[in-house]
Copies of this chain bind each other. A is one copy, B any other.
Amino acid sequence: MSQRMTIKDISRMAGVNPSTVSRALRDHPDISDEVKESIKRIAKAFDYTPNKMASNLRSSSNPTIALIIPEINMFFFPSVINGVTDAAAKAGYHVMVLQSNEQQEREHENIQICIDNRVSGIVISLSRETEQLTHIERAISFGIPVVFFDKAPSNAAFDIIKIDDEKAAYNAVASLKEAGCRKIAGLFGHPGMSITMQRRIGYLRAVKDFGLEDAGIAHGFQMNDAYNAALGFAEKGIDGIFAMSDEVISGIVPALKSFGLAIPDDCRVVGISDGKLPFFFTDPIYFLHHDGCRAGELSVERLTMRMAQPGSPIKTHVHILDTPLMSNKR
């Protein structure tokens, strides 16, 4: 049965008007129980399924939330997808996942796709390349609410769910200091990302405030870069290291161990993490927890709030997520 039933088909069979069928199927109180039942029986018999494309057009609304991410990897974004799809499903929305592959142009295209499809809302983490926010503003001007997470504009003129990057890095270094570290290094992701900059600022400020010896900082967004950089720092005799992300942690730990350093006795490791990776290691690792699932849930929550008030007179809100210091102790 490739050709599907329509309300019209059913109306013909039931000998009633299409609108009666529509009402009956949606349990409209006006329709008599007999007619309702007879219509429902026919619908069931022929496995009728209302065409959402039609009803969406009719109501000019598409119960879809778009999730735009730079590029999915094993850390953080899977959790976000989890949080977003769950929260969206609960609120009656579907989720369309779009990847920008860290390219501004793809991000623009993806926003256009959202506009074309009249999605109800957009949850987005910006690509590395993104500088202008005209595409975002365009979506908003079209009445599509947008919530940022993780890689968000510094501008508070938007709805944002993020951590205090600078403070998190600062606190991470503080924990190294408290643990007695003297000479530390910082490993960061791609220098082009806003969060890299902010976390670096926090790191450097803390190093200065606490009078720690700085073995230097390094950038590199792949595990291997971090691995090599960590080896380099290990040679310099560090006793503490800050990792701005899981990717970086995943390079650091093997590097330190290959070098023969005991963690945390010879060198303490603290990072900002989604909270999964550290548990793969036996040596004590410390991390400030950036919960992707929660970020996703809150993003959807804020979105639904906006969607309830289409005029969007509500003022924008920047939600700062907690980043509790944790460890991988079993």
B-binding residues in A (CB < 8 A): 1-2, 4, 47, 49-54, 56-57, 60, 62, 64, 71-75, 77-78, 81-82, 85-86, 89, 94-99, 112-113, 115-118, 138, 141-143, 223-224, 227, 250, 253-254, 257-258, 276-277, 279-282, 310-311, 330
**Contacts A2-B310, A53-B57, A85-B97 given; 5 further ones with Cβ under 8 A?**
A2-B311, A52-B118, A71-B82, A85-B99, A95-B98
Question: Given A1-B141, A2-B143, A257 and B282 touching (CB < 8 A)?
Answer: yes
A270 CB to nearest chain B CB (Å):
17
Q: Is the CB–CB distance between B81 and A72 below 8 Å?
A: yes
Select A258's contact among B71, B78, B282, beta carbons within 8 Å.
B282
Q: Which residue of B lies closest to A117 (CB)?
A: B52
Q: Which residue of B lies closest to A64 (CB)?
A: B96
Q: Is the CB–CB distance between A53 and B96 below 8 Å?
A: no
In the assembled complex, which residues on chain B have CB atoms less than 8 Å from the CB atom of A2? 142-143, 310-311
Q: Is the CB–CB distance between B78 and A74 below 8 Å?
A: yes
Select A89's contact among B99, B118, B250, beta carbons within 8 Å.
B99
Q: Which residue of B lies closest to A279 (CB)?
A: B223
A103 CB to nearest chain B CB (Å):
12
Q: Is the CB–CB distance between B82 and A78 below 8 Å?
A: no
A253 CB to nearest chain B CB (Å):
7
A89 to B110, CA, bound (A): 10
A89 to B54, CA, bound (A): 24
Q: Is the CB–CB distance between B75 and A97 below 8 Å?
A: no
Q: Is the CB–CB distance between B81 and A1 below 8 Å?
A: no
Q: Which residue of B lies closest to A276 (CB)?
A: B74
A57 CB to nearest chain B CB (Å):
5
Q: Is the CB–CB distance between B53 and A62 below 8 Å?
A: yes
Q: Is the CB–CB distance between A118 and B254 below 8 Å?
A: no
Question: Given A52-B116, A78-B78, A116-B52, A94 and B98 touching (CB < 8 A)?
Answer: yes
Select A281's contact among B77, B97, B112, B254, beta carbons within 8 Å.
B254
Q: 30 pairs across A/B with beta carbons < 8 Å?
A: A1-B142, A2-B310, A2-B311, A4-B143, A49-B112, A49-B116, A53-B53, A53-B56, A53-B62, A53-B118, A57-B57, A71-B82, A72-B82, A74-B74, A77-B78, A78-B78, A85-B98, A86-B99, A89-B99, A94-B96, A94-B98, A94-B117, A95-B96, A96-B97, A224-B330, A250-B279, A250-B280, A253-B280, A257-B282, A280-B280
In the assembled complex, which residues on chain B have CB atoms less than 8 Å from the CB atom of A143? 1-2, 4
A64 CB to nearest chain B CB (Å):
8
In the assembled complex, which residues on chain B have CB atoms less than 8 Å from the CB atom of A257? 282
